[in-house]
Amino acid sequence: MAKIFKSHGKLMITGEYFVLRGAKSLLLPTKFYQDMTVSKLDKKPIISWESYDHNHKKWFSVEFNLPYITIVGKRTEQKVFLKKILDFVIKKIPKIFDNNIGLKIKTRMDFQRNWGLGSSAILINNLSNYFGLDPFEVSKNVTNSSCADIASVVTSKPITYSLSNKKPLYKHVNFNPEFSKNLLFVFLNKKQSSNKEVEKFKSLKINDSEINSITQITNEILNCKGIDDFNYLINEHEKIISNKIKRKPVKNLLFNDFEGSIKSLGAWGGDFVLASSENNSKNYFRRKGFETSFSYDEIIT
């Protein structure tokens, strides 16, 4: 009998980059998700993997020979990453694939692949749930992530997240401000490599005052009552990140005539941005060539 696992995506609202150094971040779960169906292949010692997009079109497939997780055919970045996860499964559960029984695994997402939304964390969480492993431990051993995305995917609730002595601290928070109708999530139609951005940031010297400032902004955003205060806080957040990574804020680069505030979400230069304005309109971004945008209620659970 097949088993089905499902995990929702996430958007990191505050704390990008600095969460790696202990700053508190705010993450919100999305309505978009990815599911995974696992069934056994009797007496066929392979893992047959297929991934389907939101249009039910297969975009990725691979076979691994068992019990040693040997890639069949050409190696690609996606295949190697998946093998890395499965190798860790064997490390934690030796001989799990020594029974001459294989697996057929199908994944399907209901959002476009290039949106990001923590798709690696979704994959790790679904696989961890099937094999009965701790997704935080799996992520720590196969990625350079802070595991904030894992915490969001595991809870599927608004959370704050930070690292204390390299251990994750997260808790459910209430975040649905009165001005949520003035918030818009806009896709930039670019995909940044989170791993590469993380490695760049890890080489930078970070002051405690900078970490504390990001944490303070996160705390104040949680208690924000009005859009003017919210815009001020996300502008301050943008200044701190901009000064540290030596890149211009996205509003300066693409939307300098926008009447409101715009904040990058996740790795700068790609994925989604958050636009906040009294007169927020999808038409503004369409005119700029950005067709994909969501209101708060359209994307956040």
DSSP string, 192-215: --HHHHHHHHHTS---HHHHHHHH
What integer pLDDT is reported at residue 266 of this predicted model?
Answer: 84
Which tokens sit at 187?
A: 């896709």
**199 and 162 assigned to the same domain:** no
Contact 54, 112 (CB under 8 A): yes
| pLDDT value for 174 | 94
Q: Please check whether residues 162 and 196 belong to one and the same domain.
A: no
Q: Are residues 114 and 189 in the same domain?
A: no
Across all residues in the chain, what is the average pLDDT? 94
For the domain that residue 48 is a member of, what is the CATH number? 3.30.230.10
Please check whether residues 109 and 258 belong to one and the same domain: no
Tokens of 199: 């490695």
Mean pLDDT of 271-284: 91
The pLDDT score that the predictor gives to residue 191 is 60
Where a domain ends, among 131, 149, 171? 171
Domain stop point among 171, 190, 222? 171
My answer on whether 63 and 161 are in the same domain is: yes
**DSSP-based three-state secondary structure for 44:** coil
Q: pTM of the entire structure? A: 0.93
Domain stops at, among 141, 171, 201: 171
Residue 116, class by beta-carbon neighbours within 10 Å (0-12 exposed, 13-18 middle, 19+ buried)? buried
pLDDT over 60 (residue 192): no
The residue whose two tokens read 């659970």 is 301
- In DSSP terms, 104 is beta-bridged to 39, 48
When pLDDT is cut at 50, 70 and 90, the band that residue 194 belongs to is low
Q: Which amino acid is at 278?
A: E
CA distance 209 to 177: 28
State the DSSP string of 253-280.
HH-TT-SSEEEE-SSTTSSEEEEE-TT-
Instruction: Give the confidence band of 201 by pLDDT, cuts at 50, 70, 90.
Output: confident
Report in angstroms the alpha-carbon separations of 143 from 23, 35, 121, 188, 227: 19, 21, 10, 25, 36
How far apart (Å, rounded) are the C-alpha atoms in residues 39 and 110?
Answer: 21
pLDDT-above-70 percentage for the chain: 97
92-129 pLDDT, tens digit per residue, is: 999 999 988 999 999 999 999 999 899 999 999 999 99
Q: What is the pLDDT of residue 126?
A: 98
Give per-residue pLDDT as tens, 25-81: 999 999 999 999 999 998 889 999 999 999 999 999 999 999 999 999 999 999 999
Reply yes or no on whether the pLDDT at 193 is more than 60.
Answer: no
